[in-house]
Homo-oligomer: A and B are copies of this chain.
Amino acid sequence: MRNIFIKELNQTFIEDLDIEIVERKGIGHPDSISDGIGESVSEALCKMYMDELGGVLHHNTDEVQITAGESHPVFGGGEIIKPIDILLTGRGVSEYEGHKFPLDRVAIEAAKEFLDKTVINLDVNVDTIVQCKIGHGSGDLVDVFSREGAPSSNDTSFGVGYAPFSEVETIVMETEKLLNSKGFKKQHPAVGEDIKVMGLRDGDKITLTIGCAMVSKYLANRDEYITVREGLKDIVIDLALKYTNREVEVFVNTADSDEAKDESGYYLTVTGTSAEMGDDGSVGRGNRANGLITPCRPMSMEATSGKNPINHVGKIYNILSNEIANDVVANVEGIKQINLMILSQIGKPIDQPKAASAGLILEDGYDMEKVTPQVNKIIDDWLENISVITENVVQGKARTF
């Protein structure tokens, strides 16, 4: 018997709030790059330990500090002046029962691979310097798959999740997804990966404000820049209107000043990320585990990326909460909104939380009595199979930012 609590939410449905704010820092934003590096390093360490030991050793690599470089973007070209500085910290185990692990090298390689595949126009080995100060601790083996029962919580912590996404949330998410998709990049190579999408719904009017680092070498001059920027607006409006009937307005690079005749007036970069010239980044400062920043929703401050996926409940419960919430909305009829919070107890098995509390807003015509057992079953099943979360993370299938 698990501690599962299900209640009706006394709260305005998200779409009925007067004002709603949603933000997503795209995959090339310095904070997201930090998240991605932290998570990639943890994945690589898991793989390294698994290959050698069949289990995972203690580690957390959820601290990455990006210090911006310097660059000199010019229309039709440009160059990096000073590389971006990337510091990996955290902790891992470098020796265990006679096995010696290449912790630092593997971490650095993982970070570089992530950068390489994420920021197309970044020449990783020239434009960045990756340093590793991951502490070499001692630690126990935590065998993920073979041990009976679930691992114990490492801490008193909690995770939160909700579903479904509101219109604005969906639009913000889909906008960044499209603009950073492979196909789009092929057609629009000047659009960099550092894309920040801020969505504001004021009653029935949705305003999207997009900050998008342009890649200088693909824009021969100011006119080409302006053409791409204005084109983005139309593309995003078209996309947004697939998800809403509300009025949508889109702004792109609002800090530009079109009176400028040279590069100074525009959001121009050599690589497609502002980390090249001014914006630092670190893990846990950007998107939550569902990919968004949503001040009108319950949020956890826990940095999900880079934590070990075996017993770090801050990570596991945040991912799990979102999975459960989505599952409930998809499979239980009559659920208009679910908010979920799962609390751990330090030292207890992670499949036995202190509390898993769901708050529901129902569609008209449904009642709690009917949906409660269904919701309860879904939560219970997920907790029963909580190792799926770990497996997904280890295989890089779970979203953490």
Tell me whether A80 and B105 are in contact (CB under 8 A): yes
Cα distance, A296 to B359, chains bound together (Å): 12
Q: How far is the CB of A96 from chain B (nearest CB, A)?
A: 14
Most chain B CB inside 10 Å of its own CB: which residue of A10, A82, A160, A293:
A82
Q: Is A42 an interface residue (CB 8 A)?
A: no
Copies of this chain, tallied across the complex: 4
Tell me whether A295 and B298 are in contact (CB under 8 A): yes
Q: Is A352 an interface residue (CB 8 A)?
A: no
Please name all residues of chain B whose beta carbon is closer than 8 Å to the beta carbon of A81 when the two chains form the complex: 94, 100-105
Which single member of B72, B129, B254, B301 contacts A108 (CB below 8 Å)?
Answer: B129
Q: Is A252 an interface residue (CB 8 A)?
A: no
Cα distance, A19 to B91, chains bound together (Å): 33
Q: Of A178-186, A277-285, A392-400, which binds chain B?
A: A277-285
Q: Is A137 an interface residue (CB 8 A)?
A: yes
Query: Given that A10-B11, A156-B254, A198-B156 are known contacts, is A293 also in contact with B301, CB under 8 Å in the complex?
Result: yes
Q: Is A135 an interface residue (CB 8 A)?
A: yes
- Closest residue on chain B to residue A137 by CB atoms: B278
Please name all residues of chain B whose beta carbon is closer than 8 Å to the beta carbon of A82 when the two chains form the complex: 102-105, 132
Q: Of A223-231, A330-338, A340-348, which binds chain B?
A: A340-348
Please name all residues of chain B whose beta carbon is closer than 8 Å to the beta carbon of A102 when the two chains form the complex: 72, 79-82
Tell me whether B278 and A355 are in contact (CB under 8 A): no
Which single member of B127, B132, B158 contacts A21 (CB below 8 Å)?
Answer: B158
Which single member of B7, B91, B255 contacts A278 (CB below 8 Å)?
Answer: B91
Query: Given that A21-B341, A125-B112 are known contacts, is A135 also in contact with B278, CB under 8 Å in the complex?
Result: yes
Q: Is A300 an interface residue (CB 8 A)?
A: yes
Q: Is A286 an interface residue (CB 8 A)?
A: yes
A53-98: which have CB < 8 Å to B?
63, 65, 67-68, 70, 72, 79-83, 85, 87, 89-91, 94
Cα distance, A344 to B282, chains bound together (Å): 24
Tell me whether B301 and A285 are in contact (CB under 8 A): yes
Residues of chain A whose beta carbon lies under 8 Å from any beta carbon of chain B? 5, 7, 10-12, 18-19, 21, 23, 63, 65, 67-68, 70, 72, 79-83, 85, 87, 89-91, 94, 100-105, 108-109, 112, 124-127, 129-133, 135, 137, 156, 158, 160, 198, 200, 202, 209, 254-255, 278, 280-286, 288, 293, 295-296, 298-301, 303, 341, 343, 346-347, 354-355, 357
A10-B12, A81-B100, A160-B295 known, 19 other contacts, Cβ within 8 Å: A63-B281, A65-B282, A68-B135, A72-B102, A79-B102, A80-B105, A82-B102, A83-B108, A112-B125, A112-B126, A129-B129, A129-B131, A131-B131, A200-B354, A282-B285, A285-B301, A285-B303, A295-B300, A295-B301
18 pairs from A and B in contact (CB 8 Å cutoff): A19-B341, A21-B343, A65-B87, A65-B282, A80-B102, A80-B105, A81-B101, A81-B102, A83-B104, A87-B87, A91-B278, A112-B126, A129-B130, A158-B295, A255-B346, A282-B284, A284-B285, A295-B299
